[in-house]
């Protein structure tokens, strides 16, 4: 991940990894900052990483994410395409052609969102848009 430093007029590169060092956020599809200054980073094949913005900017070298959500602990896949805060304590992660995972920010519990018929919604993006508009 790269961040542009306005003062130096240069990009600064950050390497974000999980606690094991095996997963990384080098290829990020989406980044969302919550009200606690945490960055939620949707990565390709690394799942979702959570890193405090201030910790990120103050650290030199690789940054170990405070949390990493993956298929191994409940996400639909390891490549989330979009993240949205539903405004009610949950982060919603969109997986194109798969569906939506809901992450409880307090407990870390992951669940799958389904439509009224309790099945996979063929247009997960439309479902996500409708959920967010309900806030």
What is the tens place of the pLDDT at every residue in 12-62? 889 999 999 999 999 999 999 999 999 999 999 999 999 999 999 898 889
pLDDT value at residue 68: 97
Output the pTM of the full model.
Answer: 0.84
CA distance 110 to 120: 16
**How far is residue 119 CA from its own chain's centroid?**
23
């Amino acid at each position: 991940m790269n961040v542009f430093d306005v003062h130096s007029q240069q990009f600064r590169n950050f390497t974000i990894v999980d606690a094991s060092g095996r997963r990384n956020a080098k290829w990020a599809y989406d980044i969302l900052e919550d009200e606690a200054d945490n960055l939620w980073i949707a990565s390709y094949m690394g799942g979702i990483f959570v890193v405090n913005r201030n910790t990120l900017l103050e650290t030199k070298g690789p940054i170990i994410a405070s949390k990493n959500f993956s298929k191994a602990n409940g996400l639909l896949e390891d490549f989330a395409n979009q993240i949205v805060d539903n405004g009610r304590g949950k982060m919603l992660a969109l997986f194109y052609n798969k569906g939506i995972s809901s992450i409880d920010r307090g407990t870390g519990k992951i669940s799958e969102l389904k439509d009224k018929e309790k099945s996979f919604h063929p247009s997960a993006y439309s479902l996500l848009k409708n959920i967010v508009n309900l806030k």
